[in-house]
């Protein structure tokens, strides 16, 4: 009885403890801890209360209607053209070309279309391919408290899916040329968008899909989001989900914090989009298939090779893959 009471007191203490070192989530216990450090779009850590009430003034059935869709092409690499759902002239007057591959990038919490993930991945795509890159800015919800943003994610994804259906139906486009990419909460948004579009997107990439409040969540990224769905796990069990959520789940350096060159969780979380952008340019990070997650964690994988990331639309596969990197770009 004494030990049971002691264990419960320790668990309560861990749950209520406020971590003191910005960005350090080493004391976080998934499903137990109330507080966690999360980074904004510029990498600055913010303390998040996972029991904070949902802000109903921000959350409503039309939260996804506030999405903005910014088009970048090789003709306008740095100055976005805004595509407006339902306004075909916004597309006709843009540089959108239906025959090109289309890439969609979705940021995470406390971020916007200018946050680091977007130019990092956008420029990598445009450097290697003549394509349409659509950056989704969902800042009006993303910049609310984290719990509110989590609840609003499905709506943002559904509006994105409906926008893509409208775009392809009215301006042309090919589902087999579509690649959706989302980071953290954005990974769950592209999951929702892909399901809204009937699983037609050819490729869906989740970059360290957000972990807190997503365990067992039916709105999380899943293989039903597209023809081929992959996830890159870099801060599993802390800011990211560690469990499998895709056809292919990559676990660079074991998939957990600290990633090489990182000392805190927020750094390891961001490594997912940095790794991905590097692989678009170089397609150089080879994954070895593992029989289980323990092999991935312990660097014991010796199966088939499937490169992590890259921009190849016809990519396919299934299973768990371990990838070893170095600490500096291009990793």
pLDDT single digits (tens) 134-173: 999 999 999 999 999 999 999 999 999 999 999 999 999 9
pLDDT number for residue 15: 67
Which pLDDT does position 17 carry in this prediction? 86
Per-residue model confidence as pLDDT tens digits over 44-80: 999 999 999 999 988 876 789 999 999 999 999 999 9
Whether the upstream peptide bond of residue 89 has omega within 30° of 0, thus cis, is: no
**Residues 40/111, Cβ–Cβ less than 8 Å:** yes
Q: Which fold has domain 66-323?
A: Rossmann fold (3.40.50)
Which residue is associated with the tokens 């802000």? 55
Look at the pTM and tell me if it is higher than 0.85.
yes
Q: How many whole angstroms separate alpha carbon 174 and alpha carbon 171?
A: 10
Provide the residue ranges of all domains of the chain, joining segments of one domain with +.
Answer: 66-323
Q: d(Cα 206, Cα 181) in Å, to the nearest integer?
A: 6
Strand partners, 204: 180, 229
Four-residue CA torsion sign, 195, 197, 202, 206: negative
Q: Measure CA of the first residue to CA of the last residue in the chain; give whole Å.
A: 51
Stretches where the chain sits below pLDDT 70 are 1-15, 61
Q: Could you give the CA distance from residue 161 to residue 196 in angstroms, rounded to a whole number? A: 5
Q: For strand 203-207 and strand 178-183, is the pairing parallel, antiparallel, or unpaired?
A: parallel
Q: Which tokens is 164 given?
A: 């893509």
Residues forming the active site: 184, 208, 269
- CB neighbour list of residue 330: distance below 8 Å, 6 or more residues apart: 278, 281, 282, 284
């Amino acid at each position: 009885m004494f030990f049971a009471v002691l264990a419960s007191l320790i668990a309560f203490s861990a749950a209520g403890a406020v971590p003191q070192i910005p960005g350090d989530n080493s004391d976080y216990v998934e499903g137990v801890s109330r507080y966690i450090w999360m980074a904004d779009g510029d990498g600055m850590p913010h303390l998040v209360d996972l029991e904070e009430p949902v802000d109903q003034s921000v959350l409503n059935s039309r939260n996804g209607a506030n999405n903005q869709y910014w088009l970048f092409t090789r003709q306008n690499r740095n100055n976005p053209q805004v595509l407006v759902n339902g306004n075909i002239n916004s597309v006709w007057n843009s540089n959108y070309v239906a025959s090109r591959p289309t890439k969609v990038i979705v940021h995470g919490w406390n971020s916007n279309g200018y946050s680091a993930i977007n130019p990092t991945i956008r420029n990598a795509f445009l450097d290697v391919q003549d394509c349409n890159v659509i950056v989704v800015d969902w800042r009006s919800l993303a910049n609310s408290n984290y719990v509110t943003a989590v609840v609003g994610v499905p709506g943002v994804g559904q509006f994105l899916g409906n926008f893509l259906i409208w775009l392809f139906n009215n301006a042309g486009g090919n589902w087999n040329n579509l690649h959706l990419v989302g980071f953290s909460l954005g990974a769950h948004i592209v999951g929702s968008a892909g399901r809204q579009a009937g699983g037609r997107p050819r490729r869906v990439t989740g970059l360290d899909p957000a972990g807190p409040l997503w365990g067992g969540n039916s709105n999380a990224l899943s293989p039903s989001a597209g023809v081929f769905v992959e996830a890159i796990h870099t801060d599993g069990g802390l800011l990211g989900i560690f469990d499998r959520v895709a056809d292919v789940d990559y676990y660079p350096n074991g998939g957990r914090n600290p990633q090489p060159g990182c000392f805190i969780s927020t750094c390891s979380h961001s490594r997912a989009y940095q790794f991905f952008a590097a692989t678009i340019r170089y397609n150089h990070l080879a994954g070895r298939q593992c029989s289980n997650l323990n092999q991935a964690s312990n660097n014991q994988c010796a199966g088939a090779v499937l490169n992590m990331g890259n921009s190849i639309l016809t990519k396919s596969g299934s299973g768990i893959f371990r990838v070893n990197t170095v600490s500096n770009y291009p990793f």
